[in-house]
A and B are shown apart, each in its own frame.
Chain A
Amino acid sequence: MSPNRLIEDAPNDDDFMNMDDSETGYNDTPTAPDPAPSVFSTFSGVAQKNLFPMDNEELLQFNMHTSSGRSAIIILEPSESLAFIGTARLTLLRGFISLLGVPLHPSLDPHPVYAPRSHPVPILTSLPNSPRGDTELPPRLQAYCGPESSVVLIQEMLTGVEGIGTICKSFERVFDNDDLELDEAWRIHGFTPIPPNILPPRDLQPFALPPSWQATLDLLIPEESQDMDEDTSLDPLVALVKGPKKSGKSTFARTLLSRLTTRYQKVAFLECDMGQSEFTPGGMVSLHVISRPVFGPPFTHPSVPYRAHYVGASTPRSTPAHYLSSILALLQTYRLELQYPIPGGEEEDDDRISSIIPLVINTHGWVKGLGADLSRDIEEAAEATHVFLLESDAPDDNSFNDFHHHPNQTHTSRLKSPKFYSLEAIASTPLALRYTPADLRALSIISYFHANFTSDAPHIADSWSTAVPLCAQPPWEVDWSVALDQVVLVGSGSEDVTPAELPQALACGLVALVSAEADADAPAKTEASLIPYTQGSSSPPPSTSHCVGLALIRGISPSTHALHLLTPLPPVLLGKCRVLVKGELEMPVWGLLDHRKEEKGKDLCGVEWSKVPYLQWGTMQGVGSTKKRVRRNLMRRGQM
Chain B
Amino acid sequence: MHLPRRVPWTSLAELEKLCGWIFADESDAESKTQARDRLAAWRVSTPLPPALESTHAILSAHLLDLSSASTSSSLPLRQAYALSIVRLVNGLVDPLQQGAYARSIAAIAAQIGLPSWFVEVRHGATHEDLPSLEILREAANQSMRWLLHNYFLPTLNPPNPTAATAIPTSLRPFAPILKEYKALLKLITRDASLRTRRQNDLNKLLRQVERWVGEAKVAAWDGSWGGHADLQDEEKERFAVDRFCERLLDKGGLVPVSKSKRHPAKTPLATEPPNVALWSPLLDHAASHHPSLPQQLVSQICSYLVEGQRPEGEDATYDAALGGWAVWLIHAFEDDEARDGWREDTVATLLAGLGKATEEKRFAKLLVEVLSSPSPHLVAKTSHLLSIVASNGPKASDPWSKSSLSEMHTRLSQIQSLVDAPSTTKAVTAGSARAEAASGIPQGWKMLSENDGWKPCPIGVFLAT
Which residues of A pack against B, CB within 8 Å?
Answer: 3, 6-9, 11-12, 158, 160, 163, 169-170, 450, 452, 454, 463-468, 470-484, 489, 491, 493-494, 496-498, 500-502, 504-509, 552, 554-557, 560, 562, 564, 568, 570-572, 574-576, 582, 586-587, 589-593, 600, 604-607, 609-631, 633-637
Q: A83–B9 Cα gap in the complex (Å)? A: 49
**Is the CB–CB distance between A496 and B94 below 8 Å?**
no
Q: Which residues of A contact B142 (CB under 8 A)?
A: none
* A169 close to B1 (CB less than 8 A): yes
Which of A163, A612, A624, A633 touches B458 (beta carbons < 8 Å)?
A612
A-B contact pairs, 5 of them (CB 8 A): A452-B434, A493-B40, A508-B45, A508-B46, A628-B53
Does B2 contact A496, Cβ atoms closer than 8 Å?
Answer: no
B147 CB → nearest A CB, Å: 7
Q: Are A556 and B462 in contact (CB under 8 A)?
A: yes
Q: Which chain A residues border B235 with CB–CB below 8 Å?
A: 619
B400 within 8 Å of A (CB atoms): no
**A611 vs B128: C-alpha distance in the bound complex, in angstroms?**
49
The A-contacting residues of B in range 1-44, CB under 8 angstroms, are 1-11, 37-38, 40-44
Residue from A479, A491, A620 having most chain B Cβ neighbours under 10 A: A620
Residues of A within 8 A of B38 (CB): 501, 504
Knowing A452-B433, A496-B37, A508-B459 touch, does A483 contact B443 (C-beta < 8 A)?
A: yes
The stretch from B390-398, B401-409, B449-457 touching chain A is B449-457
Given A471-B459, A623-B51, A635 contacting B464 (CB threshold 8 A): no
Chain A residues near B434: list those with CB within 8 A.
452, 568, 570-571
* B431:A468 contact, CB within 8 angstroms: yes
Secondary structure of the B contact surface, majority rule: loop
> Do residues A557 and B464 form an inter-chain contact, with CB atoms below 8 A?
yes
- Cα-based distance from A599 to B95 in the complex (angstroms): 30
Binds A, one of B170-178, B219-227, B264-272: B219-227
Q: In the complex, what's the smallest C-beta–C-beta distance from A623 to chain B, in angstroms? A: 4
Give Cα distance in the complex from A497 to B161, angstroms: 37
Whether the Cβ atoms of B448 and A564 lie closer than 8 Å is yes
Shortest Cβ gap from A137 to chain B (Å): 31
A624, B7: Cβ atoms closer than 8 Å: no
User: Complex formed: what's the CA distance from A493 to B40 in Å?
Assistant: 7
Q: Which residues of A contact B153 (CB under 8 A)?
A: 622
B151 A476 Cβ-Cβ under 8 A: no
Q: Which residues of B contact A600 (CB under 8 A)?
A: 2
- CB–CB B429/A505 < 8 A: no
Cβ contact of B231, chosen from A482, A619, A629, cutoff 8 A: A619
Residues in A neighbouring B445, C-beta threshold 8 A: 476-479, 483, 571, 574-575
The chain A residue with its CB closest to the CB of B437 is: A570
| Residue from the list B42, B159, B427 in contact with A467, Cβ < 8 A | B427
Count of A-B contacts judged by CB separation below 8 Å: 316
Select one of A454, A589, A591 contacting B437, CB under 8 A.
A454
Q: For A12, what are the chain B residues with a Cβ–Cβ distance below 8 Å?
A: 47
Q: Kindly state whether residue B425 has any CB partner on chain A within 8 Å.
A: yes
Contact yes or no, A160 B427, CB < 8 A? yes
When distances are taken between beta carbons in the complex, the residues of chain B under 8 Å from A626 are 49-50, 95, 226, 229-230
Given contacts A3-B3, A622-B226, A622-B227, 4 further A-B contacts (CB under 8 A): A575-B445, A620-B5, A621-B224, A633-B100
CB distance from B236 to the nearest CB of A (A): 11
A11 to B5, CA, bound (A): 11
- Give A474 to B431 CA distance when docked, in angstroms: 8
| In the assembled complex, B80 has its CB within 8 A of some CB on chain A | no
For chain B, residues 117 to 164, give those with C-beta under 8 angstroms from any C-beta of chain A. Answer: 147, 150-155, 157-159, 161
Q: Which of B226, B426, B447, B460 contacts A476 (CB 8 A)?
A: B447
Find out whether the CB atom of A631 lies under 8 angstroms from the CB atom of B94: yes
Instruction: Check B461 for interface membership: any CB of A closer than 8 A.
Output: yes
Q: Which residues of B contact A509 (CB under 8 A)?
A: 45
Pick from A163, A482, A507, A628: contact of B49, CB under 8 Å: A628
Please, which residues of chain B bring their CB within 8 A of the CB of A7? 2-3, 5
Nearest 9 Cβ contacts at the A-B interface: A483-B444, A624-B51, A575-B442, A555-B462, A482-B444, A160-B427, A472-B456, A613-B10, A501-B41
* CB contact list, B99-119 vs A, under 8 A: 100-102, 112-113
Q: Considering residues A497, A609, A617, A622, which has the most beta carbons from chain B within 10 angstroms of its beta carbon?
A: A622
User: Contacting B5 at CB < 8 Å: which of A6, A616, A631, A633?
Assistant: A616
Q: How far is the CA of A594 from the CA of B53 in the complex (A)?
A: 30
| Interchain CA distance A590-B4 in the complex, whole Å | 9
- Pick the contact of A452: B6, B113, B428 (CB < 8 A): B428
User: In the bound complex, what is the Cα–Cα distance between A555 and B449 (angstroms)?
Assistant: 15
Q: Which residue of B lies closest to A163 (CB)?
A: B427
- Cα distance, A47 to B155, chains bound together (Å): 65
Please indicate which of the listed interface residues A7, A11, A493, A614 has the most CB atoms of chain B within 10 Å of its own CB: A614
What is the CA–CA distance of A464 and B231 in the complex, to the nearest angstrom?
36
- The docked-state distance in angstroms from the alpha carbon of A502 to that of B53 is 18
How far is it, in angstroms, between the C-alpha of A470 and the C-alpha of B431 when the chains are bound? 11
Contacts of A628 in B (CB 8 A): 47, 49-50, 53, 91, 94-95
**Interchain CB contact under 8 A, B8 and A614:** yes
Q: How far is the CA of A592 from the CA of B459 in the complex (A)?
A: 6
Q: Could you tell me which residues of chain B, from 413 to 442, have a CB within 8 Å of some CB in chain A? A: 425-431, 433-434, 437-442
Q: Distance (Å) between the CB of B242 and the closest chain A CB? A: 15
CB distance from A465 to the nearest CB of B (A): 4
Closest residue of B by beta carbon distance from A609: B4
CB neighbours of B427 from chain A (8 A): 160, 163, 463-467
Complex CA gap A24/B448 in Å reads 41
Contact A623 B428, beta carbon cutoff 8 Å: no
Cα–Cα distance between A7 and B233 once the two chains are bound (Å): 12
Least Cβ–Cβ distance between B65 and chain A, in angstroms: 17
**B92 interfacial by beta-carbon distance below 8 Å:** yes
Contact of A615 among B431, B454, B458 (CB under 8 A): B458
Expressed in whole angstroms, the minimum distance between the Cβ of B401 and any Cβ of chain A is: 26
Q: How many angstroms between the C-alpha atoms of A478 and B434 in the bound complex?
A: 16
The complex places the Cα of A478 from the Cα of B161 at a distance, in Å, of: 43
Contact B440 A575 (CB under 8 A): yes
Contact between A507 and B446, CB atoms less than 8 A apart:
no
Of B3, B40, B437, chain A has the most CB atoms within 10 Å of the CB of B3
- Please name all residues of chain A whose beta carbon is closer than 8 Å to the beta carbon of B459 when the two chains form the complex: 470-471, 508, 552, 554, 587, 591-592, 614
A634 to B112, CA, bound (A): 20
Known contacts A570-B437, A621-B155; decide if A479 and B444 are in contact (CB<8 Å). Answer: yes
Evaluate contact between B431 and A586: CB separation under 8 angstroms. no
Given the contacts A607-B457, A625-B155, A465 and B430 also touching, CB distance less than 8 Å: yes
Closest to B158 in A: A621
Chain A residue at minimal CB-CB distance from B448: A474
CA distance A589 to B7 in the complex (A): 10
Query: In the assembled complex, how far is the CB of residue B80 from the closest CB belonging to chain A, in whole angstroms?
Result: 13
B169 at the interface (CB under 8 A from A): no
Query: In whole angstroms, how far apart are the Cα atoms of A593 and B456 in the complex?
Result: 12
Q: Which residues of A contact B208 (CB under 8 A)?
A: none
Of the candidates A575, A587, A616, A634, the one whose C-beta lies within 8 Å of that of B97 is: A634
Residue among A509, A592, A606, A628 facing the most chain B CB atoms (10 A cut-off): A628
Q: Is the CB of B462 within 8 A of A623?
A: no
Q: Does B71 belong to the interface (CB within 8 Å)?
A: no
Q: Cα distance A633–B462 when bound, in Å?
A: 44
Within the complex, what minimum Cβ distance (angstroms) separates B53 from chain A?
Answer: 8
The residue that B150 contacts in the complex, of A572, A624, A627, A637, with Cβ under 8 A, is: A624
Partner of A624, one of B10, B49, B441: B49
Q: Mark B198-209, 1 if CB is under 8 A from A, else 0.
A: 000000000000
Chain A residues lying within 8 Å of B45, measured Cβ to Cβ, are: 504-509
Contact between chains at A607 and B461 (CB < 8 Å): yes
- Whether, in the assembled complex, B67 has its beta carbon less than 8 Å from a beta carbon of chain A, the answer is no
Chain A residues with CB under 8 A of B102: 634-637
Q: Is the CB of B428 within 8 A of A463?
A: yes
User: B228 an interface residue at 8 Å Cβ cutoff?
Assistant: yes
- Cβ-defined contact, A571 with B439, below 8 A: yes
A385 to chain B, nearest CB (A): 41
Q: In the complex, what's the smallest C-beta–C-beta distance from B13 to chain A, in angstroms?
A: 11
Assess the A629–B227 pair: CB atoms within 8 A: no
